[in-house]
């Protein structure tokens, strides 16, 4: 279809509609938003000047999604009531569909309007963090944000009627697997847009070098408008607030142009990591560009901690948190990927279960450097921390004048030495550690892993020995003992010679069918050639009865003795027996075996192997009790 052209109603310049279904276009000559009316073009007002956001997409870029080709025809810039600005690109597909491609903080979300959407909840009915079912695109959606934004600028052709500086309400939803949706309350009834988070590779776009360079806006040197101190902004295209470390002024930042907002009343704060410092964590170099001190007050006591905002042009923002000398590092996770328990006491993410450690309302006590939202000293939010050492999941809910949002952040515990090495500092220059951090791993935990490995090896060794043991029977006989004159008299028996191969231990087992009596055997294994004697004693006794209606028993009718390996040769067994009921005949069974696997050897070895891990387990318990001592949700609270 050929492009349609006409004259701009504001300035008379030629405006072109390349897409038949686009409703407005922005005049390149005067910046007017030109809308298609019933009879003629309309001047809807001037489009605001585009803000430099570091966007690497451009008009007329060609892409492909799920096998369908599209072209970017234009974009709008929307300003959040909390101060952030994001780009929304409009993609016209060859099959006639329109896609909405949002670009914010280096992430991309492609959505499509649901033509026959089910009845949607009203803006005031949406509860953040609560699941919403019955909508297409995901089994369950989580309300991540509800707020008010304003369309502040535009360029190119758009598929809807845009009036400049028009405010609209919206709700963003998050689902598993990167699913993303938006409810737009700018029209009645509201519209639903469903899609997912995508990468440039997903949409078939490879940025040119000139575009890719936009990812890294060079740091710029500016002066504080209050005191004149030099400030170096490292993310001028993304920062909303700058706090001057020289005079504690809070400054509004608009693409590096600073304006004074207020003087901050904040305590003197010493930064362990200087702003502007570079550090490599998890293989990526980060700039420390901002610092926030927060605290919670519990029973009249203030508990502060420090948060360093780190920035990398290609990877966005991350947090480095220091509390009581302990450090944790991490960034945001998709809201839809986190599941919370029915009572809010647990969370699940990435296949791991997290337990609620603490909740509260942290307050901003101080701020230095750059941050990407409109922070103020005194700001508060609601938060919950869940732990699965070495990880922590933190939920934060922030309220605005007309909306709110929730964010999940996952932090991983970092040893103090690793932080010092990353930023070229000495460990002694960092705050001293105190107590146990909520997500700190017990330092001697590797012992348990070693114990499991050695236990498995010991078990395998025992099985090999057991299977390889001959367990050869050398002698077995039931001896019938005739009555004797007194219980001090004994009955003596000598066996026929038997041969030992000398390739293993010797086990002698003596048993007798005694009941409420005893039988005592003293014996010798005699080498017929050398006269070597191996002695053994085998007391056999067994008693049982009933007391107060309960049965009891003690003793054993069998006794086994083991000797170390004996030289090969012929041996004779001598057995001398004595029994309590000497006036009655008795029976005793004797068996001699060679090369017998002994479970007691395995048990003693296992016991020795377990001693150190057992002591470590006790220390681990004490460590965990100390960890939870600062929590209102301690599993040890009743102990």
Continuous segment of H or E residues that includes residue 617: helix 599-628
**Residue 145: band (very low, low, confident or very high) from pLDDT cuts 50, 70, 90:** very high
Q: How is residue 519 written in tokens?
A: 């039988």
Q: How confident is the model at residue 462 (pLDDT cuts 50, 70, 90)?
A: confident
pLDDT at position 375 is: 80
pLDDT at position 556: 95
Region 311-333: mean pLDDT is 92
Give pLDDT, residue 210.
46
Band of residue 436 on the pLDDT scale cut at 50, 70, 90: very high
Q: For the residues 540-548, what does the mean pLDDT come to?
A: 94
Q: What is the mean pLDDT of residues 155-159?
A: 90
Segment among 3-7, 154-158, 260-264, 475-479 with least mean pLDDT = 260-264
What 3-state DSSP class applies to 523?
strand
The tens digit of pLDDT for each residue in 178-217 reads: 999 999 998 888 999 999 999 999 999 876 544 544 444 4
Is the pLDDT higher at 166 or at 538?
538
pLDDT at 251 over 80: no
Provide the CB-side half-sphere exposure for 108 (13 A, CA). Answer: 18
Q: How far apart are CA 379 and CA 396, in angstroms?
A: 13
Average pLDDT rounded to a whole number, residues 32-37 = 84
How many percent of the chain have pLDDT more than 90?
Answer: 53
Residue with tokens 């360093």: 308
Residues whose CB is less than 8 angstroms from the CB of residue 139 and which lie 6 or more positions away in sequence, other chains included:
133, 175, 176
CB neighbours (10 Å) of residue 413? 21
Residue where the block lists tokens 């949406």: 126
Asked whether 36 and 23 are in contact (CB, 8 A), the reply is yes
Is the pLDDT confidence value at 2 over 60? Answer: no
Residue 241: per-residue pLDDT: 72
Q: Contact, 312 vs 331, CB < 8 A?
A: no
**Which pLDDT belongs to residue 225?**
73
- How far is residue 101's CA from residue 90's CA, in Å, rounded to a whole number? 6
Tokens of 541: 């006794």
Confidence (pLDDT) at 195? 96
- For the entire predicted model, the pTM comes to 0.74
Q: Could you tell me which of 586, 579, 588, 587 has the C-alpha nearest to residue 488?
A: 579
pLDDT of residue 517 exceeding 60, the answer is yes
Q: How confident is the model at residue 1 (pLDDT cuts 50, 70, 90)?
A: very low
CA atoms within 13 A on the CB side of 197: 17
Kindly state the DSSP code that residue 558 receives in the 8-state scheme: E
The arithmetic mean of pLDDT across residues 331-336, rounded, is: 90
Q: Which of 382, 376, 420 is nearest to 399 (CA)?
A: 382
Round to whole Å and give the CA distance between 425 and 419: 8
Query: Mean pLDDT, to the nearest integer, of 149-162?
Result: 89
Mean pLDDT of 447-465: 89
Q: Which residues of 26-55 are buried (b: 16+ CB within 10 A; e: fewer)?
A: bbeebbbbbbbeeeebbebbbbbebeebbb
Point out the least confidently predicted range of 31-40, 129-138, 439-448, 558-567. 31-40
Q: Is the pLDDT confidence value at 408 over 80?
A: yes
- Report the pLDDT value the prediction gives residue 264, as an integer from 0 to 100: 58
Quote the mean pLDDT of the chain. Answer: 88
Residue 156, helix vs strand vs coil:
strand
Give per-residue pLDDT as tens, 337-368: 999 887 889 999 999 999 999 999 999 998 88
Paired with 590 in beta bridges are 477, 510
Q: Over pLDDT 70: what percentage of the chain? A: 91
The Cα 441–Cα 391 span in angstroms is: 9
The per-residue pLDDT for range 85-120, each reduced to its tens digit, is 889 999 999 999 999 999 877 789 999 999 888 889
Q: Is there a contact between 575 and 521 (Cβ–Cβ < 8 Å)? A: yes
Residue 538 has pLDDT above 90, yes or no: yes
**277 pLDDT band (50/70/90 cuts)?**
very high
* Span 331-338, average pLDDT: 91
* Angle (nearest 5°) at CA 101 between 97 and 102: 150
Nearest Cα to 522, choosing from 470, 569, 565, 579? 579
Whole-number pLDDT of residue 236: 65
């Amino acid at each position: 279809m050929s492009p349609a052209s006409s004259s701009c109603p504001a300035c008379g310049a030629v405006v072109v509609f390349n897409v038949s279904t686009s409703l407005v276009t922005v005049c390149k000559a005067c910046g007017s938003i030109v809308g298609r009316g019933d009879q003629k073009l309309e001047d809807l007002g001037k489009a605001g000047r585009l803000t430099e956001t570091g966007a690497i997409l451009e008009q007329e870029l060609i892409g492909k999604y799920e096998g369908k080709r599209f072209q970017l025809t234009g974009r709008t810039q929307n300003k959040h009531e909390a101060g952030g600005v994001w780009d929304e690109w409009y993609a016209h597909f060859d099959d006639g569909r329109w896609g909405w491609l949002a670009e914010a903080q280096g992430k991309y979300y492609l959505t499509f309007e649901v033509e026959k959407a089910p009845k949607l909840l009203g803006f005031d009915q949406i509860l953040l963090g609560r699941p919403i079912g019955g909508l297409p695109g995901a089994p369950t959606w989580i309300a991540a944000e509800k707020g008010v934004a304003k369309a502040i600028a535009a360029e190119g052709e758009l598929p809807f009627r845009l009036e400049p500086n028009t405010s609209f309400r919206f709700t963003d939803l998050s689902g598993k697997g990167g699913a993303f949706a938006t409810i737009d309350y700018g029209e009645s009834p509201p519209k639903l847009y469903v899609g997912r988070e995508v990468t440039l590779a997903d949409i078939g776009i490879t940025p040119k070098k000139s575009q890719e360079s936009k990812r890294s806006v060079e740091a710029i040197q500016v002066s504080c408008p209050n005191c004149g101190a030099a400030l170096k902004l490292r993310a001028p295209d993304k920062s909303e607030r700058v706090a001057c470390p020289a005079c504690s002024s809070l400054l509004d930042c608009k693409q590096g142009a600073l304006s004074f907002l207020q003087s901050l009343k904040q305590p003197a704060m010493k930064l362990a990591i200087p702003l502007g410092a570079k550090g490599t964590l998890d293989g990526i170099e980060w700039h420390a560009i901002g610092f926030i001190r927060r605290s919670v007050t519990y029973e009249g006591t203030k508990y502060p901690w420090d948060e360093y905002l780190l920035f990398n042009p290609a990877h966005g923002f991350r947090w480095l948190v220091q509390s009581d000398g302990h450090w944790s590092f991490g960034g945001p996770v998709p809201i839809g990927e986190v599941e919370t328990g029915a009572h809010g006491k647990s969370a699940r993410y990435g296949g791991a279960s997290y337990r609620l450690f603490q909740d509260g309302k942290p307050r901003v006590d101080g701020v230095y450097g750059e941050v990407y939202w409109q922070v103020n000293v005194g700001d508060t939010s609601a938060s919950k921390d869940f732990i699965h050492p070495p990880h922590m999941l933190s939920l934060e809910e922030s309220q605005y004048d007309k909306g709110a949002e929730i964010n999940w952040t996952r932090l991983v515990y970092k040893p103090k030495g690793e932080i010092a090495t990353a930023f070229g500092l000495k460990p002694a220059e960092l705050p001293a550690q105190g107590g146990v951090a909520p997500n700190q791993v017990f330092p001697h935990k590797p012992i348990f892993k070693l114990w499991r490995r050695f236990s498995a090896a010991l078990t395998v060794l025992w099985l090999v020995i057991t299977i390889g043991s001959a367990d050869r029977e050398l002698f077995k006989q039931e001896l019938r003992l005739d009555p004797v004159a007194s219980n001090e008299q004994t009955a003596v028996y000598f066996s026929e010679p038997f041969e030992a191969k000398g390739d293993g231990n010797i086990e002698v087992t003596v048993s007798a069918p005694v009941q409420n009596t005893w039988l005592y055997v003293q014996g010798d294994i005699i080498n017929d050639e050398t006269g070597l004697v191996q002695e053994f004693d085998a007391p056999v006794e067994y008693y049982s009865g009933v007391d107060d209606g309960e049965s009891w028993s003690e003793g054993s009718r069998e006794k086994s003795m083991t000797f170390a390996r004996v030289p090969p040769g012929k041996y004779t067994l001598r057995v001398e027996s004595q029994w309590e009921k000497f006036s009655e005949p008795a029976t005793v069974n004797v068996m001699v075996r060679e090369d017998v696997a002994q479970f007691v050897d395995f048990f003693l070895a296992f016991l020795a192997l377990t001693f150190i891990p057992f002591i470590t387990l006790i220390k681990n318990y004490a460590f965990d009790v100390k960890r939870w001592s600062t929590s209102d949700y301690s599993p040890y609270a009743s102990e």
